[in-house]
Structure 1
Amino acid sequence: MNDADAPYHAHVYYVPEQRDQADALRLRLAAMKQSGGMPGLLFVGQLRDGKAGPHPISQFEFHYLKRTLPTVLEILEGSGLTALVHPLTDDDLADHTTLATWIGDRIELDLSTLDPPGQNKGVPRFGKTDF
């Protein structure tokens, strides 16, 4: 796999009063995926109200290729929502910490739920499913 095809995730967080805003962004991304308006966008997940995995508050995730990163960052920076952007490697802990980029206020993740190095369960579901 070349570097431009490297797998990435973004997690968009929301509190109850931002749910409609998060859903509008999710629907926008889903429309871009369906129309081909964002090449490299592979999957847009559902809103997950409440804790999911290491994410202590409501969020949704989407999957894309590294080549799409500049567009993703632009969209997320303009959204007004907090987001975690990270590569998807075989080191789940590093993906969510040292390799991650935060947009907005950083949220304390529950790192105890992450897979051990070399066993990232997110890799086989990349581009297919969320939690």
Structure 2
Amino acid sequence: MTDPAAPYHAHIYYDAAERPAAAALRDDFDRDPAILFVGSMTEGGVGPHPIAQYEVHFVGSAVPAVVAAIEATGLRALVHPLTDDDLADHTTLAHWIGEPVELDVTVLDPPGVNQGVPRFGKADF
């Protein structure tokens, strides 16, 4: 069972044709009080994510609603918990919606290490 207070991310992926749907979903998330943070839309790869995406931060209790909202758009997404194992978060603990995107896992932090990047909301957890 998911801890209702556990920190989660979703990475919403899009291409040029999907950008309007991704932007509309981002706007919906930005107005949702269950969503703690909505990141900027990137127009290219960043970190392990090789294509355009943005991230959404929320807690475990919001996972079903976030997954349902993403599924309704037909967009691809990676939903994962935030633990002290960045690699596992993006692989074995991750849930894909739609066709998975091949991530560059070589840039992920090793277990127990955070290279100073805020991973939840606007500050580390």
TM-score by length of 1: 0.87
Runs (4+) of structure 1 moved beyond 3 Å? 120-125
Match status 1:16 vs 2:16: yes
Q: Return 5+ residue gaps in structure 2 as ranges.
A: none
Find the residue that maps to 1:8 and give its secondary structure: strand
Question: What's 2:71 paired with?
Answer: 77
Structure 1 residues 122 and 15, CA gap change in structure 2 (3 angstroms):
farther
TM-score by length of 2: 0.91
Question: What's 1:47 paired with?
Answer: 41
Identity, % of aligned pairs?
Answer: 57
The RMSD of aligned alpha carbons is: 1.8
Q: CA deviation at 1:121?
A: 4.5
Find the residue that maps to 1:17 and give its secondary structure: coil
Q: Counterparts of 1:65 and 1:122 in 2: how far apart (Å)? A: 21
Provide the aligned length of Structure 1 versus Structure 2.
122
Match status 1:58 vs 2:52: yes
Q: Counterparts of 1:96 and 1:125 in 2: how far apart (Å)? A: 13
Match status 1:29 vs 2:29: yes
Find the residue that maps to 1:4 and give its secondary structure: coil
Match status 1:126 vs 2:120: yes
Q: Which amino acid aligns with 2:60?
A: K
Q: Which amino acid aligns with 1:11?
A: H
Q: Counterparts of 1:10 and 1:77 in 2: how far apart (Å)? A: 12
Q: CA deviation at 1:124?
A: 4.0
Structure 1 residues 122 and 8, CA gap change in structure 2 (3 angstroms):
farther
Q: CA deviation at 1:21?
A: 1.3
Q: Counterparts of 2:75 and 2:118 in 1: how far apart (Å)? A: 28
Q: Return 5+ residue gaps in structure 1 as ranges.
A: none
